[in-house]
Chain A
Amino acid sequence: MGGLAHYIEDEGIPTTQISLIREHTEKIKPPRALWVSFDLGRPLGSPNDAEFQLSVLEHALSLFKAPSGPVLEDFPHDAPDTVDQPVSVACPVSFRPASETQSSTQRLSEQFLSEAGQMRTWYDISLNTRNRTTMGISGMSPQDTADFINRFIDARSRTELMDDPNLSDRLRLACEDIKAYYLEAVRAQPGQPTDSKSLADWFWGETVAARVINAARKICMDADSEKMKILGKLLLVPRNQMHRFNK
């Protein structure tokens, strides 16, 4: 971010920026920066808190009054919905008993489809209430996205997918879409928290979808393609959630 500020300012347009990691900004020294203590991914602080967001923006824009730079100031407030301890997200899902003839992957896939199906009502409520979804980067419907990931984790159906040169991109976008689908759905339920940690802990700790993404991660790590290896190593499961799958 700070690098872009250098280039654009050097072309003659003054810049100001929000800084999320102060230590990085101290090294890069962009012309004007406002450090905020918010979560990565929430540079304006809290969702649906216009007053707080305006305060952040006014501070960042007011740095244009500084006569010289670089300027690095600290925003004096934490985000209002910051929590010290994550809140439990209750979202019970029921599954059919597994058949003894099913493989563990088949059981996982079936439970995933069942769980994703049960999220659908909440997802539709979210979509209708907010008239907005952030799902859609894979270009597939929720059902097709779940089917696609299931086909990837099953050794037999995966062979049909491996010829696609864009498979790693498709898989990454599908996993992002499924996360968006689940998180938008659960947020439509009454009384659910809004902080990032509670929602991430629910998705990665409680859902079958997360176990399916982890199964995909392991397959990517063992793939021949360098791009697939990078996908598995870095881009499917967050570093701070990996402890759940390293047991």
Chain B
Amino acid sequence: MTRLDQYSESERAHLLGLPCPEFDTAPFAAAPELDMLRVAVISTAGLHTKGDRPFDMGASDYRLIPSETPAGDLVMSHISTNFDRTGFQMDLNTVFPLDRLNELAGKGFIGSVAAYHYSFMGATEPEKMEGTARDLAKIMKKDRVSAVLLVPV
């Protein structure tokens, strides 16, 4: 479990010592009603389709994951070895819940699922991803995305 009090002292100290960006602003965009949302997923698990470029140290770019991508076409090249990959190996939805999102759209909990989803590689400092993330937001608007689900790893 990711309850820090259950980690070893050294591991807890390491995780607590990781740098976190702090922001002076607190943006908060109004969201449509849930059943009107068109949702895109952004993962930081370093996911990509087989044949696409693996992530490297310091990568601040993203890989595109079309909504219809079969689970068997996705692999993970995140540089960190300090998190579990067996959940992903057993079931893509453990890290990238596209099937579940489609089910929620099917029963009307959300409006629809976007045509494209994205993965960054979360070991890179977020500040280095700012330009790419802002550009990506503009692309998502053209895909009529009205809400983003961010999923870490």
Contact = CB atoms under 8 A, between A and B. Distances in A.
A117 B57 CA distance: 31
Contacts of A134: 74-76, 85, 88-89
A31 B126 contact: no
A23 B16 contact: yes
Nearest to B15: A21
B78 to A, nearest CB: 9
Contacts of B150: 1, 4-5, 8, 15-18, 30
Given A1-B152, A13-B147, A239 B86 contact: no
A238 B8 CA distance: 14
Given A6-B23, A238-B82, A15 B91 contact: no
A22 to B, nearest CB: 8
A151 interface: no
Interface stretch (A50-58, A90-98, A107-115): A50-58
Contact of B77 (A17, A40, A173): A173
A45 B19 CA distance: 25
Nearest to A242: B10
Contact of B20 (A28, A37, A61, A131): A28
A30 B133 CA distance: 14
A132 interface: yes
Interface string A20-59: 1111100111110000111111111111101001100110
Interface of B: 1-4, 8, 10-11, 14-16, 18, 20-23, 25-31, 34, 37, 39, 42, 44, 50, 54, 56-57, 71-72, 74-77, 79-91, 93-95, 97, 99-101, 103-104, 109-110, 120, 122, 126-127, 129-130, 133-134, 136-138, 140-141, 145-153
A12 B152 contact: no
A13 to B, nearest CB: 5
Interface residues of A, number: 87
B2 A21 contact: yes
B148 A172 contact: no
B23 A169 contact: no
Contacts of A227: 57
A180 B85 contact: yes
Given A29-B22, A65-B34, A134-B76, 15 more contacts: A3-B21, A14-B31, A17-B151, A18-B151, A24-B15, A29-B26, A37-B2, A39-B1, A43-B151, A45-B94, A78-B1, A132-B71, A172-B79, A187-B90, A199-B86
A7 interface: yes
Interface stretch (A142-150, A155-163, A229-237): A229-237
A180 B85 CA distance: 8
Contacts of A132: 71-72
B42 to A, nearest CB: 6
A4 B129 CA distance: 7
A11 interface: yes
A7 B137 CA distance: 8
Contact of B97 (A7, A46, A48, A53): A53
Contacts of B87: 39, 41-42, 46-47, 196
A106 interface: no
Contacts of B83: 39-41
Which 3 residue pairs of A and B lie closest in terms of their CB atoms, listed nearest first?
A: A3-B126, A41-B84, A11-B137
Contacts of B30: 14
Most chain B Cβ neighbours within 10 Å, of A61, A82, A180: A61
Given A29-B26, A61-B37, A179 B109 contact: no
Nearest to A169: B56
A8 B136 contact: yes
Nearest to B126: A3
B44 to A, nearest CB: 5
